[in-house]
Chain A
Amino acid sequence: KAGVTQTPRYLIKTRGQQVTLSCSPISGHRSVSWYQQTPGQGLQFLFEYFSETQRNKGNFPGRFSGRQFSNSRSEMNVSTLELGDSALYLCASSSGQNTNYGYTFGSGTRLTVV
């Protein structure tokens, strides 16, 4: 069974641009969460989607947005990129409605903003 797939693996963008990252969850999983990982702030929760609805949101500015499609694939978008947005962005999927089912993470997209 395929794992969580994130594309692209690496991305270099210029300050002020926007970027879209993609996440394909494990087949049958309906919950997708996104995290930002940086050396300074560690792993921080961005948002979570279940059946195309955002159920939970972290403390990030409105430049960070996401969505989930009917096939459970998810995208996150960052507009007006800042240097501080350089990070590893991780997507995680779960089969259940609660975190007790456990989350499976993808390998991440490493975004570098120059």
Chain B
Amino acid sequence: AQSVTQLDSQVPVFEEAPVELRCNYSSSVSVYLFWYVQYPNQGLQLLLKYLSGSTLVKSINGFEAEFNKSQTSFHLRKPSVHISDTAEYFCAVSISGNTGKLIFGQGTTLQVKP
């Protein structure tokens, strides 16, 4: 069975500082990896995804994540955060070629302080 562990439940950081949100997964088969962001009282928004190819994937708003197969990790990073990045971030996996089912981590709340 697949599982996802987000190692930090809360990450406080000052504005313009770098941040890393950690995600490890467990799976005996090939997986796709995703990061979603959730703002208060809203649904989930896809931030970025890794399907195959280059292990470094980037979003349009400055986030990036690197797939590390040997360490089964998919950590999310941003070199300089803004107040508006304050939200909950979810790492998720799905089995390659499977249908519809995403397995989510417990989420990491990113708190950006001025």
**Interface residues, chain A, with chain B CB atoms under 8 Å away:** 4, 6, 31, 33, 35, 42-45, 48-50, 55-56, 58, 90, 92, 94, 97-100, 102-108
Let me know if B99 and A48 touch, CB within 8 A: yes
Let me know if A103 and B43 touch, CB within 8 A: no
Residues of chain B at interface, number, CB under 8 A: 26
B19-27, B44-52, B54-62: which lies at the interface: B44-52
Given A31-B99, A50-B99, A99-B32, also A105-B104 (CB < 8 A): no
Let me know if A45 and B43 touch, CB within 8 A: no
Q: Which residues of B contact A49 (CB under 8 A)?
A: 100
Q: Which residues of A contact B99 (CB under 8 A)?
A: 31, 48, 50, 55-56, 97-99
Q: Is B114 an interface residue (CB 8 A)?
A: no
Let me know if B104 and A43 touch, CB within 8 A: yes
A6→B92 CA distance, assembly (Å): 22
Let me know if A102 and B49 touch, CB within 8 A: yes
**Interface residues, chain B, with chain A CB atoms under 8 Å away:** 32, 34, 36, 41-46, 49, 51, 90, 92, 94, 96-107
Contact of A45 among B96, B103, B107 (CB under 8 A): B103
Q: Besides A48-B100, A97-B99, A108-B42, 9 other CB < 8 A contacts? A: A4-B43, A31-B99, A44-B104, A48-B101, A55-B100, A58-B101, A98-B96, A102-B46, A107-B41
